[in-house]
Structure 1
């Protein structure tokens, strides 16, 4: 079967979350400096990132812990959380070549989709912040769907919305389990976007470290059945 659809994870795959978070939290400190001046700026930034655990701890808990640890009582964690929800959209940094890659894939005739874990409003705003919503034919967010990657159901719903079979699709993501294994388990091809924080997946059809590699790799996968990881590196 030929590949008809290309689906993506969001955070760590399309969004450079690490850079985005660094930019956001520095700007947030500047916005709230009068209330946060007892905390050194770099300490505020570094501790937030540690507590965030790469997005696996929601920000209500992060801000509660942060203010408690620094004994800061000049503002509430709710104030900081609302600021995060409203302002992060302005700090969204795409990985290099994001829009040109999406344009190339659309021009080649592929259907495009996003399957992401996370909260609906926040993930929608992140996609808007990247200015990429118009490229996609289907966007599924775990909070809305009531299921999360790597559960098969959320991938199957995405394929149904796109009108394609698993064997006609490829999924690109940075997480070895949620993205790669989740996609492979239902028969999709899977491409791992390298992330130094995660171990290399055991079973994957290709490996990239730059989104610009995707059009040529997907074209190659049209005609090649790849068994083990093939580390295409730019």
Structure 2
């Protein structure tokens, strides 16, 4: 009996993908060159920061590999990546200014997909409880939530960087269920990733796993299929209407 809908954040609700991120980095580099260090090469700095940050992410950047209480926040990660990139050009002292500008430029580019607000409003009107289950550092993810106004829709937010376990591990869903006082069959999860979202929902035995396939990609037959596939969140209220209550 589905009582609550859990949702992923990045690429499910929040439209802040690689192009927006690269534009953010480029804007920071251009600001530094224009305002503080005209001897810097903006293109070279962009490449240096991008390389450092992507190396960090490949090493497990959502923080879930760290024990609780020792998880680095996004601010510290960004500051160190900027310090290393700037140090290549003799300007490590600008790391703090770069990080502040980076956060400002990120917030400017955070935007929800156009199907988010109406869908979440419809689900709340239908008395579904709404939760967010997302991988990433706590401070970065919570900033996205408040910057876009998502917090007004949510009953609960669980972030991998705050609980030291990430999707598709079933334990992040078990933590969510415990906090909501619900059983696995009471809950469905919606997300854009077959691996982390659908796989995590299946690992946790949730009532339904819903794949949001915005790009209409062909499903990898080697991955376990979702309970349902949708191409827009606009389809979700009608789908839930026919789910057992």
Shorter-chain TM-score: which interval?
A: 0.7 to 0.9
Is the alpha carbon distance of 1:203 and 1:123 closer, same or farther for their aligned partners in structure 2, counting shifts above 3 Å?
Answer: same
Q: TM-score, normalised by structure 1?
A: 0.78
State which of 151, 160, 181 in structure 2 corresponds to 1:163.
181
Alignment of 1:206 with 2:228, yes or no, is: yes
What is the distance in 2 between the residues matched to 1:64 and 1:217? 48
- Which position in structure 2 is the counterpart of 1:7? 6
Alignment of 1:151 with 2:151, yes or no, is: no
- Which position in structure 2 is the counterpart of 1:39? 41
What is the distance in 2 between the residues matched to 1:52 and 1:195? 26
State which of 97, 101, 109 in structure 2 corresponds to 1:91.
109
| Aligned length, in residue pairs | 219
TM alignment of 1:19-58, pairs within 5 A: 20-34=20-34, 35=37, 38-40=40-42, 52-53=53-54, 56=57, 57=61
State which of 127, 131, 134 in structure 2 corresponds to 1:109.
127
- Which position in structure 2 is the counterpart of 1:187? 205
- Which position in structure 1 is the counterpart of 2:90? 73
SS in 1 for 2:12: coil
Deviations 1:33-63 (A, max 9, x none): 323674355x766775566449935535643
Q: CA RMSD in A?
A: 3.1
Is the alpha carbon distance of 1:110 and 1:96 closer, same or farther for their aligned partners in structure 2, counting shifts above 3 Å?
Answer: same
Any gaps of 5 or more consecutive residues in structure 2?
A: 62-76
Asked whether the 8 Å contact 2:12–2:191 carries over to 1, the reply is yes
**Superposition deviation, residue 210 in structure 1:** 1.9
Asked whether the 8 Å contact 1:9–1:174 carries over to 2, the reply is yes
Deviations 1:157-202 (A, max 9, x none): 1122222221121111122222111111111111112266996443
SS in 2 for 1:95: coil
Is the alpha carbon distance of 1:74 and 1:50 closer, same or farther for their aligned partners in structure 2, counting shifts above 3 Å?
Answer: closer
- Which position in structure 1 is the counterpart of 2:154? 136
